[in-house]
């Protein structure tokens, strides 16, 4: 289905190009500008290459082999073997690939179909993996610069139309909960779980409200996935290899319990605010625990990495050639490509649920409905 839709877009754009050559109207332009734009905020789940363009060297880049090996045949900065769910969602919405915000050279006309601000290792706090990512506040500031560019290029009225019609998609917060354990820091050691979750959700809500003030009305969110159960997290406690890491799991469960309440309050308080919330935690947990039901052979072991469950992130000699890594033969057999990130196949399955999942999976709207509003 996805491949067919992708091929249809290519055919339409080809026909439009031929029409331009013979002096017809720009149907390519109509195809793009009449669609709602997609603006993307978040972390490595949505990362499309922003970390490639940092002024300083980030240890959280995926611009080397074997990342990108499946579809693109070269590393793009996506933390996967191929396409990620943002690419599939753009395809379903009849949009081109959404470029990274920091990528040089994209045209101003591309702004009318969206930008991707997501950054690997990003959190809502600037102190989460500092210097290695663009935190949510920085992503918001980058969007504000884009909003000014839209107003300059299109005029206030057309810029307002683009911004109000667009969909704003988020996945953020998981790194804030994981950072103290992976970075071996005492950050938040004196903060209760409830207080930390309040901080994370509060900072996320502030960004949502800022976007609303700029004219945004349609939002998409993913609950936080079971990141205490990734291959990397499952080997933190060497006495319980293969079991979920409870300190992270507890924080994520509390977050997922509280965040929907905040969205319902925003819906009541902000006129015109509409949202889709996908239960990513359940979707991914089902694939980890019952991989064969979803066409996978392995749910708990990574395709690329080293050590138990290939849970040490040496994929692609990330930490230098002295640390080798193993690479599976067929990434489609795996839920996880590297110790913390999904394969293209898993991304596509989740994207389909976000796009057109029923109310028990994505609610109160799904993205397909939001794009049509």
Q: Which residues are catalytic?
A: 44, 338, 341
Q: Are 51 and 77 in contact (CB under 8 A)?
A: yes
DSSP of 17-28: HHHHHTT---HH
Q: Are 310 and 335 in contact (CB under 8 A)?
A: no
DSSP of 89-109: HHHHTT-PPPPBTT-TT--GG
Facing residues of 219 across strands? Answer: 168, 275
DSSP of 179-198: HHHHTT--TTTTS-HHHHHH
DSSP of 281-307: HHHHHHHHH-GGGGT-SBSSS-SEEBS
Quickly count: other Cβ atoms within 10 Å of residue 25's Cβ.
Answer: 10
The single-letter DSSP state of residue 151 is H
Handedness of CA 181, 183, 184, 186 (dihedral sign): negative
Facing residues of 116 across strands? Answer: 40, 100
Q: Are 98 and 86 in contact (CB under 8 A)?
A: yes
- The token pair that represents 127 in the structure block: 């102190």
Q: Are 259 and 234 in contact (CB under 8 A)?
A: no
Q: What is the C-alpha to C-alpha distance for residues 34 and 360, in angstroms, rounded to an integer?
A: 30
* Element holding 170 (H helix, E strand): strand 167-171
Q: What is the C-alpha to C-alpha distance for residues 303 and 48, in angstroms, rounded to an integer?
A: 20
The single-letter DSSP state of residue 233 is G
317: CB partners within 8 A, 6+ apart: 64, 323, 324, 325
Q: What is the C-alpha to C-alpha distance for residues 325 and 303, in angstroms, rounded to an integer?
A: 10
């Amino acid at each position: 289905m996805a491949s067919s839709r992708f091929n249809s877009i290519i055919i339409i754009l080809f026909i439009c190009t031929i029409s331009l050559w013979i002096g017809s109207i720009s149907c390519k332009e109509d195809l793009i500008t009449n669609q709602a734009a997609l603006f993307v905020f978040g972390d490595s789940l949505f990362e499309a290459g922003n970390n490639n363009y940092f002024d300083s060297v980030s240890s959280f880049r995926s611009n080397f082999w074997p990342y990108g090996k499946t579809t693109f045949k070269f590393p793009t900065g996506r933390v996967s073997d191929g396409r990620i769910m943002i690419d599939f969602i753009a395809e379903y919405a009849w949009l081109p690939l959404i470029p990274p915000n920091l990528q040089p050279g994209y045209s101003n006309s591309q702004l009318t179909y969206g930008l991707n601000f997501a950054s690997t290792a990003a959190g809502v706090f600037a102190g989460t993996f500092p210097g290695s990512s663009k935190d949510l506040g920085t992503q918001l500031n980058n969007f504000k610069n884009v909003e000014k560019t839209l107003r300059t290029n299109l005029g206030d009225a057309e810029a307002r139309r683009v911004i109000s019609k667009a969909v704003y998609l988020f996945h953020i917060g998981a790194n804030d909960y994981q950072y103290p354990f992976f970075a071996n820091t005492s950050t938040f050691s004196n903060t209760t779980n409830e207080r930390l979750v309040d901080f994370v959700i509060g900072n996320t809500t502030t960004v949502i409200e800022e976007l609303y003030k700029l004219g945004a009305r349609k939002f998409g969110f993913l609950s936080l996935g079971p990141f205490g159960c990734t291959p990397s997290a499952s080997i933190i406690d060497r006495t319980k290899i293969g079991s979920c890491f409870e300190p992270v799991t507890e924080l994520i469960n509390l977050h997922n319990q509280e965040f929907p309440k905040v969205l319902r309050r925003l819906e009541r308080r902000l006129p015109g605010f509409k949202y889709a919330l996908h239960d990513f935690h359940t979707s991914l947990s089902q694939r980890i625990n019952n991989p064969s039901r979803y066409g996978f052979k392995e749910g708990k072991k990574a395709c690329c990495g080293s050590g138990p469950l290939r849970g040490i992130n040496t994929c692609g000699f990330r930490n230098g050639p002295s640390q080798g890594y193993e690479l599976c033969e067929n990434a489609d057999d795996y839920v996880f490509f590297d110790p913390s990130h999904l394969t293209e196949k898993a991304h596509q399955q989740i994207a389909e649920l976000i796009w057109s999942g029923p109310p028990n999976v994505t609610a109160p709207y799904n993205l397909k409905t939001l794009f049509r509003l």
